[in-house]
Amino acid sequence: MFCSCTEVFQASVIVRLFSSGQLVLKATTSEITASIEGVFEMVKVDGYEVPEGLYYTKEFEWIKVEGDKVRVGVTDYAQKQLREIVYAELPSPGTAISQNTPYGTVESVKAVSDLIAPISGTIEQVNEEVQSKPELLNEDPYTKGWLLILKPANLQAELPNLMDFNKSVEWHKGLKK
């Protein structure tokens, strides 16, 4: 789980703080946000947050593997491009979705955008708080602003279709601001 309490460093250092209290430093050229709790790194690429430990799609969604389930959300890049998100339409628990097909929408003052399934599976939980407070997608896209929890249908076969942290960082470097 990500900690909402973070510090931002404008230096060429990644700070990794383990729950044991051990602090590890690594060199980098990006702005880094280091979590106070657990093992967590977040790189900022041109002002967009890209957390470690997630997989990403080119449709601006992320997944986090949590045991035999997967948590799904929209990226920081997506929410900043959409600006003020005012509505999220999500399917009901029990709905089956297929990788690379639309499953819902998010509406902002700027546009309505389809949500594209990052993997196939059955929806086990929908973030009801996002449906009643869609601004959470803008305020906290990686923790409170998650969208769904899925039971994957074929995670190991579909995971290679997604970008890992390193590929996502490189991909974000090529995006327009």
Task: Give the per-residue pLDDT at 42.
Answer: 83
* Average pLDDT rounded to a whole number, residues 164-177: 87
Check which CATH number belongs to the domain holding 70 and give it.
2.40.50.100
Answer yes or no: is 174 within a domain: no
Answer yes or no: is 35 within a domain: yes
Are residue 42 and residue 71 in the same domain, yes or no?
no
* Average pLDDT rounded to a whole number, residues 100-116: 96
SS (H, E, C) the chain: CCCCCEEEECCCEEEEECCCCCEEEEECCCEEEEECCCCCEEEEECCEEEECCCEECCCCEEEEEECCEEEEEECHHHHHHHCCEEEEECCCCCCEECCCCEEEEEEECCCEEEEECCCCEEEEEECHHHHHCCCHHHHCCCCCCCCEEEEECCHHHHHHHCECHHHHHHHHHCCCC
Are residue 21 and residue 43 in the same domain, yes or no?
yes
Domain that holds residue 101: 54-157
Dump pLDDT digits (tens) for 25-43: 443 433 333 333 334 578 8
Number of domains in the chain: 2
